[in-house]
Amino acid sequence: MKQLRLMLWTAVVALAGAELGANQPTNQSGQTPERLGVSAQQPLRLTTPLWIEPTPKRFGILTIKQPERRGEIVQVSVPIGDLTMRAAHALGQAQRRQAEQKARKEVEQAIKVLQASQR
């Protein structure tokens, strides 16, 4: 397993090095290379294959993902749709229970009135 992981990392580094070498312009004779400041250079971004990227972690209802843009530390995902549907179902169930309790009380009261009138 360690050898496979080492071979994968070696392949990733080799591909990244080959890509970096291919992106650099060749220097023709008689031209001086341009100087670039550190701020003008593009940041090096290596992409890792999908099988190496970690899977999102779940903590209760929150899902923590890897950052996708520059400046992000972490992405937190909250399932708003799921939470609203849970709340709507809970409200519906509470209303149904209250209606059933009210109907039971009305039926009990009607039975008591009927029994009292028959005596």
Q: 84-101: per-residue pLDDT in tens?
A: 999 999 999 999 999 999
Whether pTM exceeds 0.75 = no
CB 63 within 8 A of CB 76: yes
C-alpha pair distances (Å), 13 with each of 3, 10, 39, 52, 69: 15, 5, 24, 14, 22
Asked if pLDDT for residue 2 goes beyond 90, the answer is no
> What are the distances in angstroms from CA 106 to CA 72, 95, 114?
60, 16, 12
pLDDT at position 52, please? 73
Q: What pLDDT score was predicted for residue 30?
A: 61
The tokens for 107 are 């039926």
Task: Report pLDDT for 106.
Answer: 97
The residue written with tokens 């090096």 in the block is: 44
| Segment 26-75, tens digit of pLDDT | 555 566 666 656 555 666 666 767 677 778 888 888 898 888 888 888 88
Phi, psi dihedral angles at 48 (to 5 degrees)? -95, 145
